[in-house]
Amino acid sequence: MKKYKILLAISLIAIGLMSALVASINEKKEEQKQINSVPQMDNRWETKSEEFRTHYPRQFDSWRKTKNSDEIHDMLKEYPELVVLWAGYGFAKDYNAPRGHFYAIEDNRNTLRTGGPVDEKTGPMPTACWTCKSPDVPRIMAEQGDDEYYSGKWSKYGSDIINPIGCVDCHNPKTMELQVNRKYLDDALKAAGITDLANASQQDMRTMVCAQCHVEYYFAKKTTSAGKKAAVVTLPWANGTSVEAMEKYYDDLEFSDWTHKISKTPMLKAQHPGYEMWKTGAHGKNNVSCADCHMPYTQEGGIKYTDHNIGNPLENMSKTCMNCHRVSEKSLLANIAEKKARKDELHTKAMKQISAAHLEAGKAWELGATKEEMAPALKDIRHAQWRWDYAVASHPAFFHAPEETLRVLGTALEKAGDARIKLAKILAKYGASDYKAPANYSKEDAQKIIGLPFNKLIEEKKQFNDGLLQEWKKEAEKKGIYNPESTKDVEHKTSYN
């Protein structure tokens, strides 16, 4: 009898375990079904990402982890030459390394570059500065049309563009398919003869959703049909996406982003040609997409989903690199460190050369050099800085495209050298052959050299933060497009206080 009781007990336990397992499998299947199914959002343009949480908790929770990448890294402090390179332009005021997507709006409002507007008509920047920061941008473009979106000041949309990069930036909320909602990318891909989005494969789309923002662009000036002045985000790809092709595009248009305050050079600012650089590297050439490394598939129990915590893939190598590479993590990391060191060497050399060229040109102007004398040297400076910027502004291009990064930096150094030879001759002509441009200065020194009223900028920003910004938040809440809870515990971090 005893034997039977034991057997019975064992069977009961086994049955219990089996049912628990089946229940758990069913539950996971339910969840997997939910992930694969498409809930109907009432609102075609739901830009509050937290509204997607009930349907897609894993994607939402991992997306929200981009909040953990919150360190401010002041690039002007690390490389004070940047202040001289960007004299007369917003970037000399404030420039930090990127943080998590969660901070896109926060950082756009905090940077000294966007200034301290006091109403919807003031401030230094156009509306276009919001373009790669928020899902509210494609919403406004759809509701008001591109022409209206691109006209007016940045401050015009303070209470409309309020949620950081989120679901609707990359997905069609009705179908949850990947979707690019910014038309300028499609226009540019067609102009460059690369593809058009309607024919892009799923694998291509895993890169294209990022290329909406991680690309080179400029603001093309335009008068709209309603007679308004507009600054339209345009990708300069009509001749191709290489550094020389875009340089020619800008030269042919005689376009400049600004005139350099010291050297008076008509300058170009490279934004972040991340997609263009990636295309030239080993991964891009094999169509290893941005998402393959930055958004790996993740298995949790029986559930497979895409990790939406977009950050540094090296923090997650087993799920990214190791899917494809057979060598050890350690040897890959050593390889990457070497690539970075090689880039840093040329990067710093180029930066110092270009900074010296600007200051030498400034001295030549001071001594009475003429426009005609200066023009050839200024052209070299323009091209040198554009190339240097192109190579380093899409930050880890040293990894995405190591050879191209070094090639482009090599040509930047060459152009800077050409400029300095020409300037040395001019300086000699005006009796200043012994002029030595300041070097090894700090961020504060550099801001003095270029005459930047740093403290005034901070004061204006503080008034904006306490005043207009608070009104924007209240209005956005009233419009039903902003949930203050979503940013409740965000720490206020900037480079300047």
Tokens 């020619």, residue located: 248
220 close to 231: Cβ distance less than 8 angstroms: yes
Which DSSP symbol is given to 65? G
When asked if residue 400 is in the footprint of ligand HEC (CB under 6 A), the reply is yes
**Options 47, 60, 189, 408; binder of ligand HEC; rule CB under 6 A:** 60
Give the gyration radius of the chain's Cα atoms.
26
437 close to 359: Cβ distance less than 8 angstroms: yes
When asked if residue 76 is in the footprint of ligand HEC (CB under 6 A), the reply is no
When asked if residue 494 is in the footprint of ligand HEC (CB under 6 A), the reply is no
Strands 303-306 and 297-300, how do they pair? antiparallel
Closest to ligand HEC by CB, 204 vs 257, is 204
230 close to 224: Cβ distance less than 8 angstroms: yes
Closest to ligand HEC by CB, 68 vs 223, is 68
Dihedral angle computed from the Cα positions of residues 401, 402, 405 and 410, in that order, rounded to the nearest 10 degrees? -150
Binding mask 117-146 for ligand HEC (x = CB under 6 A): ---------------xx-------------
How many residues appear in the chain?
497
Using the contact rule CB under 6 A, the part of the chain among 148-156, 328-336, 367-375, 470-478 near ligand HEC is: 328-336
Using CB under 6 A as the binding criterion, the count of chain residues that bind ligand HEC stands at 69
When asked if residue 217 is in the footprint of ligand HEC (CB under 6 A), the reply is no
When asked if residue 235 is in the footprint of ligand HEC (CB under 6 A), the reply is no
CB of 302 to ligand HEC, least distance (A): 14
CB of 111 to ligand HEC, least distance (A): 9
Range 39-54 burial, b when 16+ CB lie within 10 A, else e: eebeeebbbbbbbbbe
Cα→Cα distances 302→30, 285, 291, 323, Å: 11, 33, 22, 19
User: In 10 A of CB 430, how many CB atoms?
Assistant: 15
When asked if residue 201 is in the footprint of ligand HEC (CB under 6 A), the reply is no
CB of 319 to ligand HEC, least distance (A): 9
**Options 308, 363, 383, 420; binder of ligand HEC; rule CB under 6 A:** 308
**Options 92, 167, 392, 406; binder of ligand HEC; rule CB under 6 A:** 167
55 close to 175: Cβ distance less than 8 angstroms: no
To which H or E segment does residue 492 belong?
Answer: none
Q: Which residues contact ligand HEC (rule: CB under 6 A)?
A: 35, 49, 52, 56, 59-60, 63, 69, 97-101, 103-104, 107, 132-133, 165-167, 169-171, 176, 178, 202, 206-207, 209-210, 212-214, 274-275, 278, 281-283, 286, 288, 290-295, 305-306, 308, 310-314, 320-321, 323-325, 332, 335-336, 395-396, 399-400, 402
